Every structure is written in structure tokens, then in C-alpha cells.
Amino acid sequence: MSLVKRLQAALFDRERAQALLANLERMKDEGALEQAEYSQLKAEYSGALVQANALVDAIRREVDAEVASRRRQVDLYGQQQRNLETRLKVGELDAASYEKVARKTQANLRRLQDEVGSLERLGAASTSAELGVRGGRPSSAGRGSTARLGTPFAASLSGRSGPVFGFIDSWDDVVNPRSRLVAPVASLVLFVSVFLRWLCIGNDLFTMSVSATGNGGLVAMAVIGFVLCSSSISLAHPTTRGVIQTALGGIAFIVGVCVVFGGGGDSFGFESYSIASGLREGFYLYVASAAAMVVGGILTLKEA
């Protein structure tokens, strides 16, 4: 879970505990509570407040550590940029070589500076509303969250979420975290698998190995799965990506199993032939790839 989500949840839990304590004191002043009930609830809400404060402090220390790490990287890229300029001036690099390397260095430097600014704003946030909570509840802050005060949910502001059909801004959003590549890579393997040997079919006279290319439905499923799943990585919203990838993997799995075990040789354009000596590597690779697409989709959904 991102630092943004965790801090949202911790701040919300703290505000919730503070509000409950304030209401409790008001009800006590109005004489609406027995002393025993007041004491029990105050101990509970006070404990929740202490726990939430401790969690907020712990998350802010993590934010500070991330800021320090990014600042070190900024310093390294800054030094690298200065070295490039020196190499250009002394004639070690020509202008074209300098521009090629400097462009990448400057892009990384700007990205890191933006991340530092975002993290500093995150660390300075004192209320959940500053992180985008509007009348809702952020996701649970983690194992130490005050569960009895609610497990809130809100969209992450870490840059990983956006409009349902919005698109990513940079390549870093595709490859970070690496789990985002599981489903697209699996869809490529799924496509390749239809060209491998799927099963041995035969009759009383002979047997032969066949691929899935004889079944138009399987080929279409592999093509559609690969195109849509690989294209989905350009979508900014993890829920949209995850739903597409999970659905494609599940459908591909069902189609593959039904075609093989439901039609035998007929499904591959060989009427009156049956499965003779078992399934081959193409089928197993197809099924494993479809399952991996589902797993990749689920991992993507967990980012939401």
C-alpha cells in the first residue's frame, strides 16, 4: 500500500478518534452517559487516538526517509550533469553526444525533483482532507490501524490512479511496480502458445501433433487477449487495467479448456479424429499463461 493511502488512513483514524472523544465529552456534560459507560468508551477512544498518532508519526518517518533518498539521487544526477558539461567544454564530448546523454539525465533530475516536492507535501499534511478525502474514508493504514473505528477507502493520490480511462504520463508508470508487467507478458506467451503443438490426435491408422492454429476461436482469443492486455498498460487507473487483464485471462482459460476437452480433434479441423496420446506443451503453456494473466490482473487491482 502506498505511503499516501497509509497516511490518509492514519490521519482519518486520528480525526475519527478525536471527534468521538469530543462527542463523548459533550454527552457527558449533557448528562446523557453513565460514568461507567463514559469511562469505558473514553479508554477505548483514547487508546485508538494514541495508536493513530503513533502510526502517523511512523509513516512520516518513512516519508522523511524517502525524501532523503530522493535528495541523494538528485545530488548524484546533478553532479552527473555538471560532469557532462565539463566534458563538453574540454572537448571530450561533441555536442550531439552531450545532448543525447544530458537529455536523459535532465529528465531523471526533473522526475526526482517532482517526487521530492510531492513527498514533502505529503509529509506536511496534517489532515486527511489535504490528501483528497472528501466525506469518504481512506484505505486501512495497515496492521496497526484502529479497525473498530472503521476501515476507510479512498483513491490513491500517488499518481497511480486517475480517471477510469485516463492514460499514463511516462514509461515509469508502466514498469513500476514490476508486477504491472505480469499480465502483458503472459498475454504475449499466450499468443505464442497457439503456434506450438497442443495435442496428439489420431485414428486407427496413425497419430499426429497439431497446433491451435486450426481453431479460429482460439487464434482469435489469443490475438484479442494479447492486443487488449498489452494495450491496457497505457491506462492510468489500476482498477480499469486489473479488470481488463483478469477478465481476459479468465475467458482465455475457459475457452482453451472447453475447446480441447469439448471437441477433441474436431475442434482443430480434423473431423473423426480423437485425442490419441495426450496433450502437448502448447496447451499447457496456454493454460499457464491465461492463469498468469489473471494473477497479474489481481496484482494490479491491489494497487487501487
Using one digit for the tens of pLDDT, what is the confidence trace for 19-78?
A: 999 999 999 888 888 899 989 999 999 999 999 999 999 999 988 998 998 899 889 888
Scanning 135-280, the segments in alpha helix (DSSP H) are 172-175, 182-193, 216-231, 238-263
For residues 244 and 54, give the distance between their C-alpha atoms in angstroms, rounded to a whole number: 39
Q: Minimum mean pLDDT among 123-127, 144-148, 187-191: which range?
A: 144-148
For residues 175 and 196, give the distance between their C-alpha atoms in angstroms, rounded to a whole number: 29
Per-residue pLDDT at 159? 39
Q: Minimum mean pLDDT among 60-74, 96-110, 217-231, 251-265: which range?
A: 251-265
If you average pLDDT over residues 260-275, what whole number do you get? Answer: 55
Total count of residues recorded for the chain: 304
- Judged by DSSP in three states, 138 sits in coil
Our CA dihedral for 188, 189, 191, 195, rounded to 10 degrees, sits at 140
> Angle at the Cα of 155 (from 149 to 156), degrees rounded to 5?
100
Per-residue pLDDT at 98? 87
Fill in the DSSP letter of residue 132. T
Between 280 and 161, whose confidence is greater?
Answer: 280
Work out the end-to-end distance of the chain between its first and last CA atoms, rounded to an integer number of angstroms: 9
Contacts of 111 (CB under 8 A, 6+ apart): 170, 172
Query: Residue 160: is its pLDDT beyond 50?
Result: no
Per-residue pLDDT at 294? 93
Taking CA atoms, 237 is separated from 36, 161, 166, in Å, by 49, 5, 7
Q: Closest Cα partner for 211 from 201, 226, 221, 224?
A: 201
